[in-house]
Amino acid sequence: MSSSRKALAIVLAAGEGTRMKSDTPKVLHQVAGRSMLAHVLAAVAEAGVETIAVVVGPGREDVTAEALKRAPHAQTFVQAERLGTAHAVLAARAAIAAGCDDLLVLFADTPLVTGATIRALREALAAGAGVAALGFSAADPFGYGRLLQDEAGRLVAIREEKDASAAERAIRLCNAGLMAIDGAAAADWLGQIGNSNAKGEFYLTDIVEIARACGREARVVVADETEVLGVNDRIQLAQAEAVAQNRLRRAAMAAGVTMIAPETVFLSADTVLGRDVTIEPHVVIGPGVSIADKAVIHAFSHLEGASVGQGATIGPFARLRPGAALAEAAKVGNFVEIKNANVAKGAKVNHLTYIGDADIGANANIGAGTITCNYDGFFKYRTEIGENAFIGSNSALVAPVKIGAGAYVGSGSVVTKDVRGDALVVARGRQMEKAGWAASFRAIQAERKAAAKKS
């Protein structure tokens, strides 16, 4: 496709989403850890579209904010009244008036569409079509607009379910909703769309017949049904999630990640995975995670907003929360939680530990049951542990506190003051022993009890 063609994408996000039964607008519901709107905007960017307009419903500042977060150069338009898909497109008439070669219309509730498919629609325009509609063969076509074709396979019209004859309803080839329109003619054709149909709405789909009446060809570009799944309720949201997860797992494995049971691993759209990473069963990776080459994530671990260095190992049953940054060859074992903390190269945090707001130096060893006491109910404080330090099991490090490099902390210590490098600190009750004390204690108490029974 000639890269000289200028494209404008209009993303329709003004739907009410009533069937989601949610306080959150439909297009902000998430698939693979990011909003459906963000997915569509990512696909648009992937297709090389430089100008983006998002049409939102009135009072939907949250949708506008998400659009601008994901596509900072996007223009946003408000569709004051919901009078149909053509009416929604025309809410962005100022963007259309600025001129483009390819006008693309996408629905923000169709999150699985790919950049490649958007490119295929653009190619149809580059090859001379006036309109290209994305079609799919529906297992159950009910509710979709049907694509009516002539004997040569050219698109003749799109008929909505409610306006279709019985013969038209039998057609399985359906309108996915995505459309590419010749930018030079778009404003004229959109202006001709009326609302004399069963729903009394301005249907974007009428543009096919209008373009043909102007002597232009309309084409169908066929996509797989899983790619054009529209999300109207939570059941379809879960179906979209399943498709998205399968794609992410396959892409990860294709890029050199081993997954023993991929169907049990959950990734996010932004997950970054290196080569020869191994992810064991039942791992959940939330947004903002990157895992470097050769790292191993053992079973039942949960990661979010964390980075894992090369060759590091995590879990089983570990939790990395936002701001956990593990360097190369770090080791985080079972029942360990790490939050907002740097764990330097080769450091080990192997068992039953909470590390929050901390810096752990290279090759430090954090014993079982260590807790960084980072919060006083009002503020958070940092713990600094130098390289090669050894923290004995069941120690509480009361922040703010620094443990110098190479220092030893005796097991069971509650450390409230800084510890110098290479020092030993023991902050617990001193052990004392009285020889024979227990035997004489037992003898005395037994005698008292016997005396008490007699009286």
* Closer Cβ to Ca ion, 60 or 319, answer by number: 60
Confirm or deny that 310 is annotated as ligand binding: no
- Of 87, 282, 302, 351, the catalytic one is 351
Q: Which stretch binds ligand UD1 (CB under 6 A): 198-206, 239-247, 396-404, 439-447?
A: 198-206
Q: Is 351 a catalytic residue?
A: yes
Q: Is 160 annotated as a binding residue?
A: yes
SS (H, E, C) the chain: CCCCCCEEEEEEECCCCHHHCCCCCHHHCEECCEEHHHHHHHHHHHCCCCEEEEEECCCCHHHHHHHHHHCCCCEEEECCCCCCHHHHHHCCHHHHHCCCCEEEEEECCCCCCCHHHHHHHHHHHHCCCCEEEEEEECCCCCCCCEEEECCCCCEEEEECHHHCCHHHHCCCEEEEEEEEEEHHHHHHHHHHCCCCCCCCCCCHHHHHHHHHHCCCCEEEEECCHHHCCCCCCHHHHHHHHHHHHHHHHHHHHHCCCEECCHHHCECCCCCEECCCCEECCCCEECCCCEECCCCEECCCCEECCCEECCCCEECCCEEECCCEEECCCCEEEEEEEEEEEEECCCCEEEEEEEEEEEEECCCCEECCCCEEECECCCCECCEEECCCCEECCCCEEECCEEECCCCEECCCCEECCCECCCCEECCCCCCCCCCCHHHHHHHHHHHHHHHHHHC
Cβ nearer to ligand UD1, comparing 20 with 299: 20
Among Ca ion, ligand UD1, none, the one that 392 touches (CB under a kind-dependent 5 to 8 A) is: none
Q: Which one of residues 66, 102, 123, 160 is an interface residue with ligand UD1 (CB under 6 A)?
A: 160
Does 311 help bind ligand UD1 (rule: CB under 6 A)? no
* Binds ligand UD1 (CB under 6 A): choice among 7, 12, 248, 257: 12
Question: Does 170 show up as a binding residue in the annotation?
Answer: no
Minimum CB separation of residue 355 from Ca ion in Å reads 47
Q: Does 291 bind ligand UD1 (CB under 6 A)?
A: no
Site string for Ca ion, 201-240 (x = CB under 5 A): -----------------------------x----------
CB of 92 to Ca ion, least distance (A): 19
Binding mask 112-151 for ligand UD1 (x = CB under 6 A): --------------------------------xx------
Query: Which sequence positions are flagged as catalytic?
Result: 351
Interface residue list for ligand UD1 (CB under 6 A): 12, 14-15, 55, 79, 82-85, 87-88, 107-109, 144-145, 158, 160, 174-177, 203-205, 230
Pick out the residues of the known binding site: 12-15, 26, 79, 84-85, 109, 145, 160, 175, 232, 321, 339, 354, 365, 368, 374-375, 393, 411, 428
